[in-house]
Structure 1
Amino acid sequence: MSSEGAGLVRSEVPASGRELKFRALMAELRRGILDGTWPPGSKLPTERALAVETGLSVTTVRRAYEDLVALGLVERRQGAGTFAAQPAADPPTGAADRRIVGVLVPDTFFYYPRVLQGIERELAAAGARLVLACSHYDPAEEDAALERLLSAGVHGLLLVPTLHTASDPGRRADDLLALPVPAVLVERRLAAYGPGDPTEHVCTDHEGGAYDAVRHLRALGHERIALLVRSDAPTTAPIESGFARAVADLGLPEPLHVRDTREGWNPEGADRAVAALRAAGATAGLCFGDREAALVLAAARRAGLNVPRDLALISYDNEFADVAEIPLTAVSPPKFQVGRLAAQILLRRLADGDASPLHQVQLRPRLVVRASCGADRPAEAARKSPRSTS
């Protein structure tokens, strides 16, 4: 693997100022080659000229050129200089059939299998090949996986990084954007940065999903609506934000908010949550995710409550909400479509380089209405509230 790839994915030790400047130079050179600023066969500036132009050392520029040679983007000609590499013989369908796409996900058992199906469907249609890696939500394992993917010669990356546990998410995102191949984030973005988010990404609009769930419950007549979430999940923050916005927009009373870790969500914890719901007078709740909602459902039964008559429930994720003891109404993220669209955007980026616009896409989830909220059909809520989209 090139020194560039190895340096970028080891984030345990903060990068020096010199290293950051090197990464910026690499990214700029790569973009210039991919977007045609230096067309195939054109001569790049000499090492000394580029060092003077950028203010970097000749050694840093030489290292960048050597890494670009290793990536096949430039070639050295003895006594002549450095040139943008000529593409291989043009295949009849362009370059898509040669593309190797690295995909990094944190989990292959929950949530992401459908995302991967969407990615695989799109890459297969384009004749591209997928190389899969899994981080298990471990930053060190994530870095090692990135090294393996780059060593495998991938042309682009679809990444689900652990931004929510990073001490500096913006810096981590900058590291990923400076990798020697294009990267599109999947179900991750720098929401707190607003328009300052530089990432190309495709995400579920979790804020919108939570908002629609509250609006649906309000349309069914509920005013005291609780939010029950896992505190250690990357999806929690946008769900909480969407829930709070809906409560404010609909003029609802201050809601009960139950937060606990995955380990804390167990039968005893669910019993405590249901007791808190009863004490607060809550008649409905949005639970993130399906496992937590199933635990609350069982705790409600132990407390002698009828679901949905005494307590209406909506789950968030729709992984196995339909097989609960009482089928759970659920917010259903468009996982397959997220994966498919992310793959399309990466393939377009590989084909067009910086000529392709930066995509920052959010897809609104849908609400799948089942028995647990007391409205067996979406149309029932729609008749009660002209604003309802469920």
Structure 2
Amino acid sequence: MREPVELRRQRILAVVRSRGAVKVSVLASELDVSVVTVRRDVEELARAGRLRRGHGVARPVGPVEEVTVPAARAEEPGRDGGPVALVVPERHSYLYEAAYGARPVLEEAGMRIALHIAPQAPGAERPLVEAALAAGARGLLIAPRWRGAVSEAADYGWLSEVAVPTVLMERRPRPGSALHALDSVCSDHWYGTYLAVDHLVALGHRRIVLAARDDSPTARSVRRAFAEIAAARPEVEDWSVVLSSPDAVPGPDHDDGTRLGDAPRDRTPLDLAALLTERRATAAVLHGDVDALMLVQRLAEQGVRVPRDCSVVAYDDVVAALSSTPLTAVSPPKAEVGRAAAELLLHRLARPLDTAGPVRRIELLPTLKVRGSTQPPASRPTPGEN
């Protein structure tokens, strides 16, 4: 899914403000778009007075809050306070949709927004939050990357001490941790996984593989839920969990050494066709979307037809519909998570601390988008066969 133009331009402004002069070619590489696209964005931003343009270079013109808010809105009523800091991971289209959902709610309430993009490095969110607070941020919406348990625990201490109202998006801290009593909005990924398994079982599939990532809270929730749900369904005769991609693990800077499922730590690509044959599986749930599209392409190259030979349900629904065979997908309410988080933050900001009420942990249910990648199996193994 193409990133919204204004969100991409906000990211350009955030990078330029944090680093100073940045080459257009560097911005294009980091944003994963063409140089022509970035050059056009820089020209429009310069025309609006939000940055300065040089020969192949973009330069800042003012502090973060000045360059992250459109000038036409800066004088509207209610815009005399500090901005709301919105912190999301770099190159994470799923959470960009959540951020995009939060924006109209905050702007409608007269709140200015400072978008901060956290690079793919351990502890990247903390300096961004500290800088935002130093610049006068009045509230914080944040979705930490949390690739593993170690990186998650490392954020508990400082994030629990942030001195402004804070809401977590798509993150549910460990029970009993310092962040357990922090406002949060999250998709119910157990229910999303249930929708995928239930759909396949209803079609008659009895042997199902989950190929999933293991480098985010969502990935770990999906893996746990699949194992629990598949084991509890008497109709499911065989199931297994493997890594959807060799780079889908937390990595040496994040990992705590724990594993979920039975996937080996292996750098070779998953041979899904061979696994389906080995397990005599007729269906697969694939997390996330990009990995799902690549695995489906690889199946086609090996002569496995989707859905005739194997039904596929993707998880995330960011680009699943763009596959050559549009993929049935679990669709978490991404934009709605952002909207609910923004509304929860506004509730906190509008009231003194002693009258804001109890901490709220909101869960929103995903939906299942049935497309062309699932159908009843061509043949069903005899119950009890090995």
| Shorter-chain TM-score range | 0.5 to 0.7
More helix by share: 1
What residue in structure 1 maps to residue 192 of structure 2?
209
Structure 1 gap ranges (5+) = 1-92, 376-390
Q: What amino acid does structure 2 have at the position aligned with 1:322?
A: A
What residue in structure 2 maps to residue 283 of structure 1?
282
Alpha-carbon shift at residue 105 of structure 1 (Å): 0.4
Q: Deviations over 1:307-331 (max 9, x none)?
A: 1121000001111111101100011
Aligned pairs for 1:53-132 (under 5 A) are: 98=81, 100-132=83-115
8 Å contact kept, 2:238–2:279? no
What residue in structure 2 maps to residue 359 of structure 1?
360
Aligned equivalent of 2:230, options 244, 247, 250: 247
Alpha-carbon shift at residue 110 of structure 1 (Å): 1.4
Distance 1:96 1:201 in 2: 25
8 Å contact kept, 1:122–1:340? yes
Q: What amino acid does structure 1 have at the position aligned with 2:218?
A: T
Alpha-carbon shift at residue 282 of structure 1 (Å): 0.5
Q: Deviations over 1:242-286 (max 9, x none)?
A: 21222133222341211155537999724x122111111010010
8 Å contact kept, 2:169–2:341? yes
Q: Deviations over 1:84-120 (max 9, x none)?
A: xxxxxxxxx8x68635200110125511221111111
Cα gap change, 1:368/1:97 in structure 2, threshold over 3 Å: closer, same or farther?
Answer: farther
What residue in structure 2 maps to residue 257 of structure 1?
241
Q: Deviations over 1:49-104 (max 9, x none)?
A: xxxxxxxxxxxxxxxxxxxxxxxxxxxxxxxxxxxxxxxxxxxx8x6863520011
Matched, 1:329 2:328: yes
8 Å contact kept, 1:318–1:330? yes
Structure 2 gap ranges (5+) = 1-76, 250-265, 377-386
Cα gap change, 1:354/1:369 in structure 2, threshold over 3 Å: closer, same or farther?
Answer: farther
Q: Which secondary structure state, in structure 2, belongs to the residue aligned with residue 231 of structure 1? A: coil
Aligned pairs for 1:262-341 (under 5 A) are: 263=247, 269-270=269-270, 272-341=271-340
Q: What is the TM-score when the length of structure 1 is the normalising length?
A: 0.67
Distance 2:126 2:155 in 1: 11
Alpha-carbon shift at residue 297 of structure 1 (Å): 1.1
Cα gap change, 1:323/1:229 in structure 2, threshold over 3 Å: closer, same or farther?
Answer: same
Matched, 1:161 2:144: yes
Over the matched positions of the two proteins, sequence identity in percent amounts to 35
Q: Which secondary structure state, in structure 2, belongs to the residue aligned with residue 372 of structure 1? A: coil
Q: Which secondary structure state, in structure 2, belongs to the residue aligned with residue 115 of structure 1? A: helix
Q: What is the TM-score when the length of structure 2 is the normalising length?
A: 0.67
Aligned equivalent of 2:205, options 216, 219, 222: 222
8 Å contact kept, 2:307–2:374? yes
Cα gap change, 1:137/1:198 in structure 2, threshold over 3 Å: closer, same or farther?
Answer: farther
Matched, 1:152 2:135: yes
Q: Which secondary structure state, in structure 2, belongs to the residue aligned with residue 167 of structure 1? A: helix
Q: Which secondary structure state, in structure 1, belongs to the residue aligned with residue 239 of structure 2? A: coil
Q: Deviations over 1:23-42 (max 9, x none)?
A: xxxxxxxxxxxxxxxxxxxx
